[in-house]
Amino acid sequence: MSRWPVAIGLLGSFFIFVGCSTDTMQSRQVSVEVLPAQNVILSKPVVDKSGERFEITGTVQRQPGYSGMLFGHVNIEIVDHDGYLHDSFPAALTPRSIPSFGNQTSSYDLYIQAEIPAGSTVRVSYSDDSKPTTQPGTGMPGVFMDRPKPMSGSRY
């Protein structure tokens, strides 16, 4: 009896269950960190590589008992193994306002075309967009509060 049909069957099962184009970040020694947030619970993100892009997904759930408005986004930071910020990305929530009924959860799904260096940490935090991100008198601009700078020659 030949062993080839068994070997091919096992190999086919491997590719079906594992997938041939997805490289989980555990094999690249990339860790994830979820920063605590007020009134929400962030899930541990899932980071996968597919071809030349990375997909980072997760959920944000309303804290039990909190009924106030929750309107925000997720900040995703890539921190290299030396602790320096490599890159950062905002990720929109769907639905954008975390529901106060049903499963009370929003999700995010971010695709990036940037390399995540081995040994890096993917850090996830929640940003509440319903609160002002500037403090009076500081002149410090907040997220999404800056007006785009005009291009040279434009009449903006």
73: domain range?
Answer: 21-128
**How many domains would you assign to the chain?**
1
Is there a domain that residue 138 lies in?
A: no
Using DSSP, state whether 26 is helix, strand or coil. helix
pTM, entire model = 0.66
Token pair 């020694």 is at which residue? 29
Is there a domain that residue 64 lies in?
A: yes
Is there a domain that residue 15 lies in?
A: no
Is there a domain that residue 56 lies in?
A: yes
**100-111 average pLDDT score:** 93
33-55 pLDDT per residue, tens: 999 999 999 999 999 988 889 99
**23-32 average pLDDT score:** 64
Where residue 3 falls among pLDDT bands split at 50, 70, 90? low
Is there a domain that residue 96 lies in?
A: yes
Residue 25, pLDDT > 50, answer no
C-alpha–C-alpha distance, residues 77 and 126, integer Å? 11
CATH number of 94's domain: 2.60.40
Is there a domain that residue 60 lies in?
A: yes
Is there a domain that residue 26 lies in?
A: yes
